[in-house]
């Protein structure tokens, strides 16, 4: 398809439950489960996907805000929590790491992802209107934390090309999707360059399919849009909720596009107009995703780093 005539798809509700700010859907192939968070409620959620229907199977209440969750190598859940990292062990016990974000500022962790070598990258966002002061952090398997880059406002949408040589990263503040070279062996991130500025909304979460196309939730537009690496738009997924937050390919075959949405910033009139906001949606888009690697660390390495 050309940019002037992208394929069009419609998403349908996958679950009855509604959330304030659902984010970060992820298929965990080792456990055949969907993971996601409700940021404002401080919830980490697990679900079972049966066809196009998603049922919640477990909830973990961490309190505060929760930006993102990924599986760890031992089946634990690694969480980018309010101002640091936490780990939920398979028995439900929560281990909390030290504060990572600077003290004295109103910031929180937001979106996060695991690179092809098992490193956890998590970005922060300002909650008080500050611009250009947030950082992108990395948590290694041994618990070491480092700064990858800085100068962001609302860090979002981290993903890699199929060969791992290119990293995509959105900043919803200025509405830019950045692209940079990435060395999977060392974790070194090269200089970023502006790749895309979606129109009619801001780029939120994103994912990359097996063909290398980038699927971006356009917050405010009620859409997920897919782009080739050259920037040509190849697909639009219409979602009956204006605040789309992140897409992910889910299911055993990674052939269903799961989309989270939010309702926390909608007015009462907008909630009445978009009553499905806050649900998760699913669409068949004729594309296939790639298995998400777990964080290479585990509960033992996390605890040892405390």
Q: Hey, how many other C-beta atoms are within 10 angstroms of the C-beta on 247?
A: 30
In angstroms, the Cα distances linking 292 to 34, 39, 78, 126 are 11, 21, 14, 27
- The alpha carbon of 130 is separated from its chain's Cα centroid by a whole number of angstroms, namely 22
The torsion angles phi and psi of 303, rounded to 5 degrees, stand at: -65, -35
- The span from the CA of 293 to the CA of 305, in Å, is 21
Asked if residues 246 and 240 have their Cβ atoms less than 8 Å apart, the reply is no
- Residue 199 makes CB contacts below 8 A (sequence gap 6+) with none
B/e letters for 188-221, b = 16+ CB within 10 Å, e = fewer, are ebeebeebbebeebbbbbbbbbeeebbbbbbbbb
Is 264 a residue of the active site?
no
Q: Exactly one of 204, 209, 213, 298 is catalytic; name it.
A: 204
The residues that are catalytic are 204
């Amino acid at each position: 398809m050309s940019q002037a005539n992208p394929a069009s798809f419609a998403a349908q509700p996958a679950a009855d439950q509604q959330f304030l700010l659902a984010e970060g859907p992820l298929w965990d192939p080792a456990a055949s489960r969907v993971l996601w968070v409700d940021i404002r409620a401080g919830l980490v959620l697990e679900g079972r996907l049966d066809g196009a229907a998603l049922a919640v199977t477990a909830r973990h209440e961490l309190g505060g805000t929760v930006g993102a969750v990924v599986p760890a190598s031992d089946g634990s859940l690694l969480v980018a929590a309010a101002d640091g990292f936490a780990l939920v062990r398979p028995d439900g016990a929560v281990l909390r790491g030290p504060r990572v974000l600077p003290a004295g500022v109103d910031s929180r962790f937001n979106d996060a992802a695991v690179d092809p070598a098992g490193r956890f990258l998590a970005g922060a966002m300002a909650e008080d209107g500050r611009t250009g002061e947030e950082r992108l952090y990395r948590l290694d398997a041994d618990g070491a934390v480092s700064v990858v880059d800085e100068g962001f406002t609302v860090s979002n949408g981290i993903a890699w090309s199929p060969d791992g040589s290119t990293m995509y990263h959105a900043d919803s503040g200025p509405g830019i999707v950045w692209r940079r070279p990435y060395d999977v062996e060392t974790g070194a991130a090269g200089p970023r360059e502006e790749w895309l500025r979606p129109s009619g909304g801001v780029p939120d979460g994103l994912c990359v399919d097996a063909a290398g196309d980038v699927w971006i939730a356009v917050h405010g537009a009620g859409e997920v849009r897919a782009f080739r690496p050259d920037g040509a738009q190849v697909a639009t997924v219409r979602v009956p909720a204006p605040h789309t937050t992140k897409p992910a390919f889910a299911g055993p075959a990674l052939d269903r596009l799961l989309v989270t949405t939010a309702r926390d910033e909608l007015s009462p009139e907008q909630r009445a107009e978009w009553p499905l906001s806050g649900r998760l949606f699913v669409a068949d888009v004729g594309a296939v995703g790639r298995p998400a690697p777990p964080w290479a660390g585990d509960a033992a390495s996390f605890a040892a780093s405390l």
